[in-house]
Amino acid sequence: MSRNAFGRLCHILQNQGRAKDTKHVTLLSIVVHHKKNGIIKYDFIQSARTVSKHFHIVLNVILGLHPLLLAKPLSVSADNNCPRWKWFEGCLGALDDTYIDVRVPAEDRAHYRTHKGSISVNVLGMCDRDMRFIYVLSRWKGSTADNRVLRDAISRSKDLKIPRGNYYLVDNGYSNGEGFLSPYRGVHYHLKEWESGRNAP
């Protein structure tokens, strides 16, 4: 996490999340710098129990910021004039999986190893047309296939809702289905074909 992003998060926590205690905000360094509880207790001269308590307070505050940090999806309307989106009536946005590196015990590394060899978790992210996050699911090990992660997200009826007639754009790692539109298989799309002139995306 960059210093700028960390500062902005602290500002949000203090103003929106009501985390007024400096200790709570400072203990985010556990997440940012991957420090263990034992190291943090020496840095802040606190007991391990106090460090753990403050960490969970900050975590609960962050979870409470859900409505502020995640946008609500709006579908592309029939009268949309944007040259990029007017062809996608009913589209809510796009989704894809990404890998975020993690540290896990040696005996668990095989489950977290991706096809590229890194030790990661498989995170599903959904964004609206303005690249604002709508939904994030980050509970799967790196070896899990993208379709499996998406099926899990769909099965959580309270979390991910796709109204009938709407859909998300997905890449070829997913299959076409109700609520999801992927490109035609076997067709290569090249950005150079769309760079200039009236074909520009």
Of residues 88 and 42, more confidence is placed in: 88
pLDDT on residue 188: 67
Q: Give the number of domains in the chain.
A: 2
Q: Which domain holds residue 143?
A: 91-194
Work out the average pLDDT over 15-37. Answer: 63
Task: Give the model's confidence band at 90: pLDDT under 50 very low, under 70 low, under 90 confident, else very high.
Answer: very high
116 versus 18: the higher-pLDDT residue is 116
pLDDT > 70 in the chain, percent? 77
Same-domain check for residues 132 and 95:
yes
Total-model pTM: 0.70
164 domain-assigned: yes
**What average pLDDT does range 65-83 have in this prediction?**
84
Residue 34 lies in a domain: yes
pLDDT score, position 194: 53
Tell me, yes or no, whether 200 lies in a domain. Answer: no
Mean pLDDT of 180-197: 68
- 51 and 136 in a single domain? The answer is no
Say if residue 51 is in the same domain as residue 127. no
Average pLDDT, integer, range 84-97? 89
- Asked whether the predicted pLDDT for residue 87 surpasses 80, the reply is yes
| 53 shares its domain with 99 | no
> What is residue 34's predicted lDDT score, i.e. its pLDDT?
64
Give the rounded percent of residues in the chain with a pLDDT score beyond 90: 9
Least confident interval from 7-16, 104-113, 133-142, 188-197: 188-197
Is residue 161, in this structure, part of any structural domain at all? yes
- Three-state SS string over the chain comes to CCHHHHHHHHHHHHHCCCCCCHHHHHCCHHHHCCCCHHHHHHHCCCCHHHHHHHHHHHHHHHHHCHHHHCCCCCCCCCCCCCCCCCCCCCEEEEEEEEEEECCCCHHHHHHHECCCCCEEEEEEEEECCCCCEEEEEEEEECCCCHHHHHHHHHHCCCCCCCCCCCEEECCCCCCCECCEECCCCCCCCCHHHHCCHHHCC
Does residue 100 sit in the same domain as residue 185? yes
The arithmetic mean of pLDDT across residues 51-72, rounded, is: 79
Can you give the pLDDT at residue 199?
A: 45
Residue 74 located in a structural domain? no
Indicate if 99 and 157 belong to the same structural domain.
yes
